[in-house]
Amino acid sequence: MTVTDTAASKLDKSAKIFVAGHRGLVGSAVVRRLRTLGYTNLILRSHSELDLTNQSAVKTFFTIEKPQYVILAAAKVGGIHANNTYPADFITINLQIQTNVIDSAYRYGVKKLLFLGSSCIYPKHAPQPIPESALLTGPLEPTNEWYAVAKIAGIKMCQAYRLQYKWDAISAMPTNLYGPNDNFHPENSHVLPALMRRFHEAKVSSAKEVVVWGTGSPLREFLHVDDLADAVVFLLENYSDLGHVNVGSGKEVSIKELAELVKEVVGFEGELVWDSSKPDGTPRKLMDSSTLAKLGWEPKISLRDGLVGTYKWYVTTQ
């Protein structure tokens, strides 16, 4: 693994940085972090302003804007239901976005690109904690393999351009994320925002109980999106090598502990009931983030503090 000299690696604060997908959970956090650190020349485009699946439009954008750095956080994302219903969309749209942005970034003189993937790239039965070396060692989780295959292709594309063109493209794979701008949709959201919404609505309606599927025993890892954004900028400034890098908190919490903590943060005073007739899902999913730790980065936001901040954001945006 290669770490560039930290003192010499800091990017010029006026460098043109294109954050693709700046309105999403990850992209918006990356923009916040860059601005906090004093970066003043961010290039941002909404989907209506620039359709990243349109190769001609992407080429024109890079020709005119000539960004020096690219953070590729744009993607079509969704839960199990969406992946099962629209598999062609998930594989095609993500492949188009990645191919257009990565290829144009190289061809139009971008110095460095950071591609963001997902922990779903790893095999369903990967060893725990999951090391980077587990990639492509077994079958994927079938419910989101279309998205996962596209993300794996993105990693391999960055590696291929590094090998063939000696171009500085790197990849980061975050664990389960949460925070401001998360998806709180009642049907399509992930476990943490779904729990927060349900407890909030139960509190508002003075419900006596909230029923949660399963036994609460599965172990999961969560990382606040502002910690991920900090890691993204750290890697952009300090890392340059072929291998992708896991980004996790390194801390596990059971779904039961998580539900009780969310209940406490929201202030729901009713009863939490577990429906053990419903499935639990994968018993454990934890990323091995030791590569990133050895580079000198570690998360700073505790789960409790992160939940408090996320709930404040959720309440103020309703």
Active site residues: 147
What are the φ/ψ torsions at residue 298 (nearest 5 degrees)? -145, 150
Q: Do 198 and 210 form a contact (C-beta atoms < 8 A)?
A: yes
**Residue that the structure tokens 């909230």 belong to:** 210
Q: Do 29 and 229 form a contact (C-beta atoms < 8 A)?
A: yes
> How far is residue 60 from each of residues 44, 82, 122, 161, 241, measured CA to CA in Å?
15, 32, 35, 21, 29
| Spatial CA neighbour of 117 closest among 62, 173, 157 | 173
Q: Do 272 and 148 form a contact (C-beta atoms < 8 A)?
A: no
DSSP 49-96: T--TT-HHHHHHHHHHH--SEEEE-------HHHHHH-HHHHHHHHHH
